[in-house]
Amino acid sequence: MTTGTRKVSIFGVPMDLGASKLGATGGPDAIRRAGIAKALERLNCDIVYDDDIEVPERPENPGNVKTRFRKEIRSVCESLASSIYKAHKGASFPLTLGGDHSLAMGSVAGSWKYYKGKKQNIGLIWVDAHGDMNTPQTSPSGNIHGMPLAHLLGLGDRHLVGIGGKGPKVKARNVVLIGIRDLDENEKKNLRETGVHVFTMKEIDRFGMPRVCERAIEAAADQTGGIHVSFDIDAADPALAVGTGTKARGGLTYRECHLFMEMMADSEMLCGLDLVEVNPLEDAYNQTAVLASELIQSAFGKSIF
């Protein structure tokens, strides 16, 4: 991490339009209630902005069943991309609180646009129980929160691919998935064909989280100006993170989650961070939002000693 006061812009995205379960709209405020702003200030951060991106009410008609609520999600993501870009331009670190994972099409696009202006690529580390690599053609549900990574790589619906600017936002060689343990069959094919780096829970069990993190950071940092991290709280085991909509057993432990964030802080390559899919309606005593707050603090340099 850089020394001195660090400017931070916090963007809440109270959206659950991309998900089948309602409730992720409350994620940003739940993380705020867990004290994230005060905690970051104690880490020598200056919170220069902390507000929500406007999200429309859920329409009765979702539109095309293969891309449910596409129009509304695209509008939110365009607004988020513009806000993230402006934060970068103002030398402020963008922290995005969600909200369902479809928002990453906007947050990553904002980082991409800024670094594109510097003639640099960005790396992307996607920490998630799921691949989020479905397209409208392969998705069994039409829920866009299962598609954002595919669209960031240039696959799928052209309107979603074009959020924040034309074309793919990341190169497959600089994209890494960590914590994967629940994939659709067609999604597996999309992952293999793109050639992104995938570390499932099997690789984490086999090689250990430290080695996986080292390899992930190395791949995402290769010839890039920075690494955007999009962290779905369902990457953590449901015993830790009950407050999320799409749970999958056998996930990352408390220390494995923190180790990843700590190693990202040590790398000094982190250029943007999403913490998504916190759902207070599924939570108990706000414990999942507290975990989210703690993980963000680790990414900003909070250490044990």
CB 174 within 8 A of CB 195: no
Q: What is the pLDDT of residue 173?
A: 98
Strands, sheet with 197-200, edge to edge from the N-terminal-most edge strand: 45-52, 6-13, 93-98, 270-276, 226-232, 122-127, 175-180, 197-200
Residues 6+ apart with CB under 8 A from 304: none
Summarize pLDDT for 182-226 with one digit per residue, the tens: 999 999 999 999 999 999 999 999 999 999 999 999 999 999 999
Instruction: Give the active site residues.
Output: 101, 128, 130, 132, 145, 232, 234, 277
- Selecting from 3.40.710.10, 1.20.1540.10, 3.40.800.10, 1.10.12.10, what CATH number does the domain 6-299 have? 3.40.800.10
pLDDT at 3 over 60: no
Across the chain, mean pLDDT equals: 97
Q: Counting every residue, how long is the chain?
A: 305
Domain ranges of the chain: 6-299
Per-residue confidence band for 2, with pLDDT thresholds at 50, 70 and 90: very low
Summarize pLDDT for 13-34 with one digit per residue, the tens: 999 999 999 999 999 999 999 9
**DSSP designation for 101:** G
**CA–CA separation, 61 vs 106, rounded Å?**
23
Instruction: Residue 155: name the closest of 196, 125, 114, 116 by CA.
Output: 196
CB 68 within 8 A of CB 142: yes
For residue 29 the two structure tokens come to 């405020």
What is the secondary structure of 137-175 as a DSSP string? TT-SS--GGGSHHHHHTT-S-HHHHTTTSSS-SS-GGGE
CB 299 within 8 A of CB 229: yes
pLDDT at 93 over 80: yes
**CA–CA separation, 48 vs 122, rounded Å?**
24
**CA–CA separation, 305 vs 303, rounded Å?**
6
Per-residue confidence band for 1, with pLDDT thresholds at 50, 70 and 90: very low
Per-residue confidence band for 4, with pLDDT thresholds at 50, 70 and 90: low
Summarize pLDDT for 288-300 with one digit per residue, the tens: 999 999 999 999 9
Higher local confidence (pLDDT), 229 or 305 = 229
Vertex 172: Cα angle to 96 and 90 (nearest 5): 35
**Angle subtended by helix axes 287-299 and 254-267, to nearest 10:** 30
Per-residue confidence band for 239, with pLDDT thresholds at 50, 70 and 90: very high
Summarize pLDDT for 110-139 with one digit per residue, the tens: 999 999 999 999 999 999 999 999 999 999
